Every structure is written in structure tokens, then in C-alpha cells.
Chains A and B, each alone.
Chain A
């Protein structure tokens, strides 16, 4: 299994541009998440999904959108990029057979985004 994969690894955007960060997992996990990590800080949850077709906001959703059309993919869309969105973005997935929760999240390698 490849686990959680993210593309691209690095990206530089100009202010006002848009882009989509791709995330895919091949572990048949029902839950998927997007986090951002600013320098020297912990991770903050942007959006999460508990299954295909179901998404919800996390702690810092403004400026982002997500969709979950399949179990495997969970793209993150940045509209009108701003310098405040310069960060490292991590995608994660987890599995809960009962739907009552999860214990272990698996993280991708991250996408380093710079907005100038």
C-alpha cells in the first residue's frame, strides 16, 4: 500500500491565484482530514470527511473548500490565495468500522505552499 499520498510536494502561488491540493489514500479508510501547520506550530484542522459525500469544517476552514466524491480522494481547494495561507498542508486518513470514532490517523508527507 502507498498509504496517504499528496501532490504536489511544493508549490509557489501568487496572491489571488487558485489551486487544488490532491490527497489520496489506498487503505479504504472512511475518514479523511486536511491540516495546516505554520512554522513552529502544531497542526490545525481545516476540513474533515467521515465518508464519501460528507464533509465538515474544522478549526480554520476560511479560504478553503473540499469535496469527497470517492472514498479514496479528498482534494483541498484554495480560492484567491493569500500570504496567510503560506503553510505546510497535511492530509490524513483513519478508519472506524463502527462509525463511533477512531484512534490512529495516517498522515501524508505534506505539501509546502508559499503564497507571494
Chain B
């Protein structure tokens, strides 16, 4: 599975959009991009996933570049409760053994 690179931390003002980047330049054609977050040592929480098209759900939007070498998770109106570590993971969907979380990005939402 491809490795990912994320900035260790980011700040965002409350009510503004939070844009979290992820680089996965070695991604292969059958690998999905997943985003999870972990709020203050709780169990990780699934946010969104995609293969090559942009995706949106009630929590966030996922923008994947056309060459699939990078992606951006967008929280449209960040709140203080969105302060968490955000993990970008790439994985072949049927590869149960390979789900590397890495170190993620600590998003600090400030009032």
C-alpha cells in the first residue's frame, strides 16, 4: 500500500473551512483514499473515502487530484469539536492486513 505524507499540525479559525492536505504520490490504481479522525484519544472515527472522484458527505468533502497523487479533506465550517488528529490512509479495499494510520495532522480549531 502507498504511504502518505501529512503536515504534523494545522490551525483553523472556528467557522472557517479547514483544508487538510495529504500526499500519496505512490498510490496505485486500485487503492482508495480514506480519512479518519481521532478526537482526544477516543477511538478513530471514519470520515470519508474515495477512489478518483470527489466525494461529499454530511461531515466533509474529499478532493482527489486528477493524477491521484494528493488529496484534500475539507471541513466546510470547522467547529471547536473538530479539533482532532486527522489520518489520511490509502489502501487496496480487500487488503485487510494493510491499514496504516501513520501520524496524521493535528487540527487545532481556534475561537
Contacts and interface: CB of A to CB of B under 8 A. Distances in A.
Interface in A22-66: 31, 33, 35, 40-45, 48, 50, 56-59
Interface in B67-111: 87, 92-97, 99-104
Interface of B: 32, 34, 36, 41-46, 49, 87, 92-97, 99-104
Contacts of A101: 92-96
Contacts, number: 62
Nearest to B104: A42
A104 B94 CA distance: 12
Nearest to B32: A103
A45 B46 contact: no
Contacts of A107: 42-45
B94 A58 contact: no
A33 B44 CA distance: 13
B interface: dominant SS: loop
Nearest to A91: B43
10 contacts: A4-B43, A42-B104, A43-B44, A56-B96, A88-B41, A92-B44, A101-B95, A103-B49, A105-B46, A107-B44
Given A103-B46, A103-B93, A110-B43, 13 more contacts: A35-B101, A40-B103, A42-B100, A42-B102, A43-B44, A45-B99, A101-B96, A102-B96, A103-B34, A103-B49, A106-B46, A107-B42, A107-B44
A103 B34 CA distance: 8
Interface residues of A, number: 30
B103 A42 contact: yes
B97 A48 contact: yes
A74 interface: no
Contacts of A100: 93-94
A109 B44 CA distance: 9
A108 interface: yes
